[in-house]
Amino acid sequence: MKKTNVAYLILTACLMYFVFIPKALAIEYSLAWPGILPDSKIYKLKVLRNKIIYKMIINPVKKVEFDLLMADKTIYASKLLVDKGEIVLAKDTALKGENYYSMLVQDYNNALLKGKKIPSLLDQKITLAVIKHQEIFKEMENAVSGEGKKVFQIVDKFSKINYGFIVGLRNPKKTNGE
Amino acid sequence: MEILISFYDNALIYYPNVFFAVLFFVSILGIILVSIGIILLWKNIKRVIEEIKSTLKQIKKIKNNERKRISFVPMIRIFFEKKKISFVCIIKYLTISFVHMIKVTFIRINTALGYIESQAEKIAKKIEKEILIEE
């Protein structure tokens, strides 16, 4: 009887953790406003500006912060494009947004290799952002039908893989099986 | 230093347009200041160029007059006064001075010979007169 109670408690705790906590966190996190959308003519200029900024940033931790901001903005822009009905462009933008998150993983690794400590607030933001991104990808999946749905599913999968990398970088010993 | 870098990175990430606008205005201000500096310096540069031109003219005059001068000493004096000393110039003026020396020596020998000749003629005339008086 006691064993079943303990198991029940663990199960409910797991449920609380995986179901309620991410949702509660997702509500707290708000994405940055993207400004000019990719359907604008001057969007290319903005991309160029962002590339220049990326090159100009000195601190590797700040690069992680920049990648996160860019991922947030691009994914939010993708959502706005879906709302506008520009699905093809939205798919590309979602992929580019997730690519920013992949860059974040690389920069996260570089920062750790350079001996920089990632602030806990930024770490928390990275986790919250993933939850929010996945929530948006799910919303877009539901809003779109056909091939578009497949792309958003793939992007969602990428997002999970990327977050797996981040978790691996946070706890390198556990992932190595030690 | 780290605070400064952090401030720079934050400005770049969160206020990129402001950052680039400031950079643009600062660069324009820099260009304006540099151009004003060049304009102010141009007068001095012009003066220096004029001075160089005048010295070049004087040197040309000296070159034109050097054939007319018999003595090379004043020419070399001007040459040193203008501080135009170079290996080529020294060689040039040494050869000129050597040629002048030879010329002067030749003229002096000539005059000396002429003087001796005239003296000899005088002596000869005197001797002739004395002989005539004795006769």
Test B16 with A49 for CB contact under 8 angstroms: yes
pLDDT tens string A99-117: 999 999 999 999 999 988 8
pLDDT tens string B69-82: 545 566 666 666 66
Percentage of the residues of chain A whose pLDDT score is greater than 90: 53
Assess: ipTM above 0.85. no
Cβ neighbours of residue A76 closer than 8 Å, sequence gap 6 or more: A31, A32, A33, A34, A136
Q: Which residue of B has its CA nearest to A60?
A: B9
Test B12 with A57 for CB contact under 8 angstroms: yes
Q: What is the DSSP string of chain B?
A: -HHHHHHHHHHHHH-HHHHHHHHHHHHHHHHHHHHHHHHHHHHHHHHHHHHHHHHHHHHHHHHHHTTT-S-SHHHHHHHHHTT---HHHHHHHHHHHHHHHHHHHHHHHHHHHHHHHHHHHHHHHHHHHHHHHH-
pLDDT tens string A56-80: 999 999 999 999 999 999 999 999 9
Bin A115: left if φ > 0, else alpha if -120 < ψ < 50, else beta: left
Q: In degrees rounded to 5, what are phi and psi of residue B2?
A: -65, -35
**Which chain A residues are closer than 8 Å to B16 by Cβ?**
49-50, 53
Confidence (pLDDT) at A3: 60
Confidence (pLDDT) at B64: 65
Q: In degrees rounded to 5, what are phi and psi of residue B19?
A: -60, -50
Test A65 with B13 for CB contact under 8 angstroms: yes
**Which chain B residues are closer than 8 Å to A66 by Cβ?**
13
pLDDT tens string B77-111: 666 666 666 666 677 777 777 777 887 888 888 88
Q: pTM, whole model, 2 decimals?
A: 0.61
pLDDT tens string A80-89: 999 988 889 9
**What band does A25 get if pLDDT is binned at 50, 70 and 90?**
very low
pLDDT tens string B122-135: 888 888 888 887 77
Quick check: B9 contacting A, CB < 8 Å? yes
Q: Which residue of A has its CA nearest to B6?
A: A59
Alpha-carbon gap: A2 to the closest alpha carbon of chain B (Å) = 55
pLDDT beyond 60 at A30: yes
Of A49, A50, A59, the CB nearest to B9: A59
User: Does B27 or B43 have the greater pLDDT score?
Assistant: B27
